């Protein structure tokens, strides 16, 4: 008999049941296999489908199914540990092996799969360990996965499927694994897995993944290489942990910290500006008052008084600018509304239409990706007005101004970009001064150095960011993140 053809060592260690898959595609289960689970032939329907749906534990389901079909189609032998449900509903641990994994002297065309019940581990202990594993996985939102390089297949447990919102019978694709990551994270995912597969590097990274419903969320991905007896890497094993909620809190805290730091910096800069600008005016007034006492002729004194008038006008202008900045910082509680970029741009174009026409300015727009935002309308109008008038004011003398304005969404960030083909700014020389008060970079008689300073304050007052990239004689791009 078949059992007598096995090595005595194997018989001593295991209770043997087996399947025989004939070349006629008929599947037979041995009596020993049925009795090991306390089933009778009347209790079961002998088929792979019945086995997968009613006997094997769902955590072992996919791997066995793949192994079974690989054996039938390609003759690929395998060895797998699994839990099988007995007639009373309790799980028992078995080691499943195939022809070449046991000492079987058989020369027919049938495929044999042996189910060897482990004697050294009680069913109670197995069930208890499975329970703890399942509870831990669910409470920590952690799923396991395995990539088999030999078979070119990927395996997920049920918790991984739940995390990624795939059905329980979903078979993951190794070939199309890039689809599980948003575009901006595909490169990181690829480099991480390649380093592990080629160099044997363990990894522990935070990365965004995509669910079946195309929802992007944060996971902590941990993995390590799997080696064979020859120390060759044959796969990667690891876990995905859903950390989206904690990551959102972390990012929110970081944004709050950045806002506080930014506000402190603006407060310091404002105090410095007030001190510097007012001191320069008061110093001039003090000097003139001292000179008036030394001058004897009325004509000389009248000249000094004219200077006092000029200083007073300049001082008043400075105070107005500073007051405008204060107004911006204290007006953020104004109600926001849904503002359409097209509508605001039309208002700006109508207000400076003559300047646009006079300078033969072309304005191109693309708001298809993001048509509107929740914002203070007056702020958005002021921002566009400042950036457009600057682009015209600092146009290149050898070409007409062309301004391109487009909105977009990048990884949930709402962005507005304004690009011109003007004189550009030497970023190496002026990069840290672009948004400073009274900072100018071109010899233009109309330059005041206040527009970009006001724009930056308006953007940052609503927790946004503004940056600029520029090349001399090529133009500039201002990027606003709302």
Q: Are residues 88 and 222 in the same domain?
A: no
Domain extent, residue 34, equals: 10-117
Q: Are residues 338 and 476 in the same domain?
A: yes
Q: Which of 85, 117, 149 finishes a domain?
A: 117
Question: Is there a domain that residue 155 lies in?
Answer: yes
Question: Is there a domain that residue 3 lies in?
Answer: no
Q: With the CA atoms of 158, 161, 163 and 167 taken in that order, what torsion angle do they form, in degrees rounded to the nearest 10?
A: -110
Burial class for 57, CB neighbours closer than 10 Å (0-12, 13-18, 19+) = middle
Q: Are residues 350 and 460 in the same domain?
A: yes
* pLDDT at residue 390, as a whole number: 87
Q: Are residues 178 and 237 in the same domain?
A: yes
Closest CA to 279 of 290, 268, 287, 291: 287
Question: Is there a domain that residue 412 lies in?
Answer: yes
* pLDDT at residue 371, as a whole number: 94
Q: Which of 88, 117, 146 finishes a domain?
A: 117
Q: Are residues 191 and 143 in the same domain?
A: yes
Cβ–Cβ < 8 Å for 19, 112: yes
* pLDDT at residue 9, as a whole number: 43
Per-residue CA distances from 83 to 56, 148, 198, 211, 419 (Å): 6, 21, 33, 29, 63
Q: Which of 226, 247, 268 finishes a domain?
A: 247
Question: Is there a domain that residue 199 lies in?
Answer: yes
Question: Is there a domain that residue 173 lies in?
Answer: yes
Gap between the terminal Cα atoms of the chain: 78
pLDDT single digits (tens) 172-182: 988 888 899 99
Query: What is d(CA 145, CA 160) in angstroms, rounded to the nearest whole number?
Result: 7
* pLDDT at residue 259, as a whole number: 73
Q: Are residues 63 and 146 in the same domain?
A: no
Indicate the number of domains in the chain.
3
pLDDT single digits (tens) 192-206: 999 999 999 999 999
Query: What is d(CA 427, CA 469) in angstroms, rounded to the nearest whole number?
Result: 8
Question: Is there a domain that residue 262 lies in?
Answer: no
Q: Are residues 31 and 170 in the same domain?
A: no
Question: Is there a domain that residue 5 lies in?
Answer: no
Q: Which two tokens stand for residue 251?
A: 């990012």
Residues of the chain with pLDDT under 70: 1-15, 99-109, 118-137, 262, 265-281, 314, 317-318, 321-334, 431, 436-450
Q: Are residues 477 and 337 in the same domain?
A: yes
Query: What is d(CA 396, CA 420) in angstroms, rounded to the nearest whole number?
Result: 10
Burial class for 444, CB neighbours closer than 10 Å (0-12, 13-18, 19+) = exposed
Question: Is there a domain that residue 322 lies in?
Answer: no
- Write the CATH number for 58: 3.30.450.20
- Write the CATH number for 428: 3.30.565.10
Q: Are residues 347 and 470 in the same domain?
A: yes
Q: Are residues 176 and 212 in the same domain?
A: yes
Per-residue CA distances from 139 to 159, 165, 170, 241, 421 (Å): 10, 16, 22, 10, 56
Q: Are residues 344 and 383 in the same domain?
A: yes
Q: Are residues 228 and 136 in the same domain?
A: yes
């Amino acid at each position: 008999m078949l059992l007598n053809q096995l090595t005595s060592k194997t018989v001593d260690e295991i209770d043997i049941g087996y399947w025989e898959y004939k070349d006629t595609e008929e599947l037979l289960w041995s009596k020993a296999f049925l009795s090991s689970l306390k089933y009778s032939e009347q209790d079961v329907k002998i088929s792979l489908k019945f086995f997968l749906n009613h006997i094997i534990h769902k955590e072992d389901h996919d791997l066995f199914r793949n192994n079974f079909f690989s054996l039938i189609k390609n003759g690929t032998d395998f060895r797998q540990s699994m839990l099988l449900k007995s007639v009373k509903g309790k799980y028992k641990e078995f080691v499943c092996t195939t022809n070449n994994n046991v000492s079987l002297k058989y020369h027919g065309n049938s495929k044999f799969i042996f189910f060897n019940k482990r004697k050294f581990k009680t069913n109670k202990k197995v069930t208890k360990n499975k329970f703890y594993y399942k509870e831990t996985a669910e409470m920590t939102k952690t799923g396991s996965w395995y990539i088999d390089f030999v078979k070119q297949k990927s395996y997920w447990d049920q918790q991984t499927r739940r995390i990624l919102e795939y059905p329980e019978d979903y078979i993951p694709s190794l070939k199309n694994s890039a689809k599980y990551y948003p575009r901006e994270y595909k490169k990181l995912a690829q480099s991480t897995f390649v380093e592990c597969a080629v160099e044997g590097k363990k990894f522990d990274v935070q990365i965004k993944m995509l669910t079946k419903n195309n929802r992007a969320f944060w996971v902590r991905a941990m993995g390590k290489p799997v080696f064979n007896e020859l120390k060759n890497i044959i796969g990667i094993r690891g876990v995905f942990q859903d950390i989206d909620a904690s990551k959102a809190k972390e990012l929110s805290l970081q944004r709050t910290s950045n806002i506080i730091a930014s506000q402190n910096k603006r407060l310091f800069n404002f105090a410095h500006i007030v001190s510097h600008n007012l001191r320069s005016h008061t110093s001039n007034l003090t000097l003139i008052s001292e000179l008036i006492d030394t001058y004897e002729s009325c004509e000389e004194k009248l000249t000094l008084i004219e200077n006092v008038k000029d200083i007073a006008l300049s001082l008043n202008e400075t105070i107005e600018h500073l007051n405008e900045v204060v107004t911006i910082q204290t007006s953020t509680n104004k109600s926001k509304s849904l503002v359409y970029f097209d509508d605001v741009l039309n208002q700006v174009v109508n207000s400076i239409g003559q300047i646009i026409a006079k300078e033969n300015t072309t304005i191109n727009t693309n708001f298809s990706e993001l048509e509107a935002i929740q914002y203070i309308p007056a702020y958005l109008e002021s921002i566009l007005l400042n950036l457009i008038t600057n682009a015209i004011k600092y146009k290149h003398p050898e070409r007409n101004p062309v301004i391109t304005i487009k909105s977009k969404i990048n990884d949930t960030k709402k962005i507005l970009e304004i690009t011109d083909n003007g004189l550009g700014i030497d970023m190496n020389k002026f990069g840290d001064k672009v948004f400073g008060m009274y900072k100018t970079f071109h010899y233009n008689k109309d330059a005041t150095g206040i527009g970009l300073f006001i724009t930056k304050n308006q953007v940052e007052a609503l927790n946004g960011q503004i940056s600029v990239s520029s090349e001399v004689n090529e133009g500039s791009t201002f990027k606003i993140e709302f």
